[in-house]
């Protein structure tokens, strides 16, 4: 059974590619665009990992992290923060309970390293030793990973709908090629 990742991100241009990357690696992905929606989702589905931004509409990601850590059902769930808000808020995120923080724009290799790090996190008497992706684990070819990073950056800067659709199409193609290459080497 695939592990479930909850992605809390209000920017579609970040949420969609991130969710697609995780799905292609074999994770089950649930998305939310604000903290309140994410907390509601956790009452229906307890995720194995939470990935959240800090700057969210309504309650902040910091509030969301604190809420997760105070909820007995999900307090041991590892939390990865991905945010462009700067080092001071990332330190604050760690102080309220984030296990790992990455600055935007994210780089695919750093992202997967953080996901792998999450596999070994233990909280309050629980173990996450069984947190293993069901997809391939072959290292990524750097050029393709950098190409994906560049496309994610371009997606943020697109101004027209047609341009956005073109970048999303190319990003999806690169992600599929990366997935196919990793599947081939297994």
pLDDT in tens, 133-150: 433 333 334 455 666 667
Residues 98 and 157 in one domain: no
Could you tell me which of 114, 112, 120 has the C-alpha nearest to residue 101?
Answer: 114
Q: How far from 136 is each of 26, 31, 88, 113, 121, CA to CA, in Å?
A: 8, 22, 35, 14, 21
Residue 124 included in any domain: no
Q: Number of structural domains, the chain? A: 2
Average pLDDT of the residues of the chain: 79
Residues 10 and 73 in one domain: yes
Residues 22 and 90 in one domain: yes
Residue 41 included in any domain: yes
pLDDT in tens, 159-183: 888 888 887 888 777 776 665 655 4
Residue 135 included in any domain: no
Peptide bond into 64 cis (omega under 30): no
Residue 149 included in any domain: yes
**Domain range enclosing 109:** 4-118
């Amino acid at each position: 059974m695939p592990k479930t990742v909850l992605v809390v991100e209000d920017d579609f241009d970040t949420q969609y590619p991130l969710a697609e990357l995780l799905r292609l690696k074999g994770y089950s992905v649930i998305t939310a665009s604000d903290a309140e929606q994410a907390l509601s989702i956790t009452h229906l589905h307890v995720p194995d990992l939470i990935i959240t931004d800090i700057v969210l509409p309504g309650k902040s990601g910091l509030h969301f992290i604190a809420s997760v850590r105070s909820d007995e059902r999900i307090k041991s769930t590892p939390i990865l923060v991905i945010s462009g808000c700067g080092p001071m808020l990332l330190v604050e995120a760690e102080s309220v309970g984030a296990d790992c923080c990455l600055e935007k724009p994210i780089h695919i290799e750093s992202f997967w390293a953080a996901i792998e790090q999450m596999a070994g996190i233990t909280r309050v008497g629980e173990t996450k030793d069984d947190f293993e992706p069901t997809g391939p684990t072959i290292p990524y070819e750097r050029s393709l990973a950098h190409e994906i990073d560049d496309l994610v950056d371009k997606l943020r800067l697109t101004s027209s709908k047609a341009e956005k659709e073109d970048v999303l199409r190319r990003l999806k193609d690169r992600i599929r090629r990366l997935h196919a290459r990793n599947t081939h080497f297994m």
